[in-house]
């Protein structure tokens, strides 16, 4: 026991500090985020040629963040209106959700015309996935397990687990070809218990950049239908993959047309450059209008204790762009411009490797893959060598963010990749 003198000497603030430290002393140190770790190492590097190919955000050809002209104009329109900052409803802004649904499913979708689409605004694609996972855990009448592609976006796994769902991986990427293992994928879909939930990337698969062809999507649809499976589509890159919003929505619309039961997560982070605005949507294809009303009522019950209601500014921006004909036209051009720049970088990177440096490796996958990311096939030790010898930073699985490449550094990157792969 402390003496009276000692008790006087120990200040109340020190006593409180001791208690606080003791309370949380059992909390372990969490592992660092792989992508944020790449960025931190990049920032510390002082070499003028350094490249950050880890972050999944678009950059212009000068390596700078890109704010779309259509978005700037929409922002000015909103500013001139002098709108208030009142709460949105639990499911968000109706003008936004209507436009988001039409962009994804098509303006003439029977789901929309028949008032069978239950849809809510979400906190970007991550929030949409979390709402969807909670909804499935609460109401999906079969096994509470989601099959995700191997590999998949890293956040899919904790999102589903935090919502109480089990996970299993299905075959997707072929390491030998750096392409799609369609036979393995179909085999796993056939082999899963009937009524299983399959998460599918609608376009621009993250992290591989490997998408099924339209013919392969048709095959996938048929097998999923035969097994009575349920589909959870994640569409984070509509328009950003090919430059054509309709083409990128092929898989989703195909499955809807063929009567699949499904849900969809949408994000406007990439295709409108609204990364920090956190704008997304979650939707459920319903059997009829009465079912839609019941589903929406339960979505509200899920969302209310989660974050009450969504932010309004980003949703207003998206709604203004999509509902103003001249802005929508400009936005579609800008989406194509961004997609085309990335496609150009793919062509240049492969061209430099093969033509300028005479690489004997097969680099066809660079141009066969699509979207923001390229699964390069680089081994972890080669990635380390890129970082240590060439100041090029990417995740150790070899995923390259193509948006970080520009006409100014693409040849340097090709030289670096050639040097770490030529032996």
Per DSSP bridges, beta strands 173-174 and 179-180 are antiparallel
| Cα Dmax for the chain | 83
- The Cα 160–Cα 148 span in angstroms is 10
Catalytic residue among 211, 248, 270, 363: 270
Residue 230 has a CB neighbour count (10 Å cut-off) of: 18
Q: Which residue intervals of 211-312 are DSSP H helices?
A: 214-227, 245-248, 250-257, 289-307
Task: Name which of 357, 399, 415 is nearest 38 in CA terms.
Answer: 399
Sequence-distant (6+) residues with CB within 8 A of 401 are 52, 53, 54, 55, 56, 57, 372, 373, 394
Cβ 85 vs Cβ 309: under 8 Å: no
153 among known catalytic residues: yes
Q: Are 237 and 372 in contact (CB under 8 A)?
A: yes
Helix (H) or strand (E) holding 350, with range, is: helix 325-351
* Distance between start and end Cα atoms, the chain: 69
Q: Is 234 a catalytic residue?
A: yes
Q: Is 375 within 8 Å of 401 (Cβ atoms)?
A: no
Distance CA 244, CA 239 (A): 5
Active site residue 363: no
Catalytic residue among 73, 188, 211, 234: 234
**Which residues are tagged catalytic?**
153, 234, 270
């Amino acid at each position: 026991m402390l003496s009276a003198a000692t008790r006087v000497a120990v200040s109340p603030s020190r006593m409180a500090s001791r208690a606080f430290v003791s309370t949380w002393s059992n909390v372990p140190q969490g592992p660092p985020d792989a992508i944020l770790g790449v960025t931190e190492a990049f920032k510390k590097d002082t070499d003028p040629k350094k490249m950050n190919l880890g972050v999944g955000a678009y950059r212009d050809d000068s390596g700078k963040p890109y704010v779309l002209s259509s978005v700037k104009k929409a922002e000015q329109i909103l500013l001139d209106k002098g709108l208030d900052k009142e709460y949105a409803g639990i499911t968000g802004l109706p003008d936004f959700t209507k436009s988001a649904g039409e962009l994804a499913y098509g303006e003439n979708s029977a789901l929309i015309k028949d008032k069978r689409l239950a849809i809510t605004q979400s906190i970007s694609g991550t929030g949409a996935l979390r709402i969807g996972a909670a909804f499935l855990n609460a109401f999906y009448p079969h096994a509470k397990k989601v099959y995700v592609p191997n590999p998949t976006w890293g956040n899919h796994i904790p999102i589903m687990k935090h919502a109480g769902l089990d996970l299993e991986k299905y075959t997707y990427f072929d390491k030998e070809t750096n392409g799609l293992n369609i036979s393995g994928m179909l085999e796993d879909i056939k082999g899963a218990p009937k009524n299983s939930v399959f998460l599918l990337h609608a376009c621009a698969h993250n992290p591989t950049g490997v998408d099924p062809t339209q013919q392969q999507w048709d095959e996938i649809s048929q097998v999923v239908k035969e097994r009575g499976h349920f589909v959870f589509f994640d569409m984070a890159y509509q328009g950003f993959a090919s430059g054509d919003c309709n083409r990128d929505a092929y898989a989703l619309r195909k499955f809807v047309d063929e009567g699949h039961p499904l849900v969809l997560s949408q994000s406007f982070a990439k295709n409108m450059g609204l990364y920090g605005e956190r704008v997304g949507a979650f939707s459920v294809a319903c059997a009829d209008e009465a079912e839609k009303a019941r589903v929406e009522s339960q979505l509200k019950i899920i969302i209310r204790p989660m974050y009450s209601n969504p932010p309004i500014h980003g949703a207003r921006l998206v709604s203004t762009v999509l509902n103003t004909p001249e802005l929508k036209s400009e936005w579609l051009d800008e989406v194509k411009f961004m997609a085309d720049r990335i496609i150009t970088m793919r062509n240049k990177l492969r061209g430099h490797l093969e033509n300028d440096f005479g690489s004997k490796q097969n680099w066809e996958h660079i141009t066969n893959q699509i979207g923001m990311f390229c699964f390069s096939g680089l081994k972890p030790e080669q990635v380390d060598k890129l970082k240590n010898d060439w100041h090029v930073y990417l995740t150790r699985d070899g995923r390259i963010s193509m948006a970080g490449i520009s006409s100014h550094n693409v040849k340097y990157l090709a030289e670096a990749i050639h040097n770490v792969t030529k032996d």
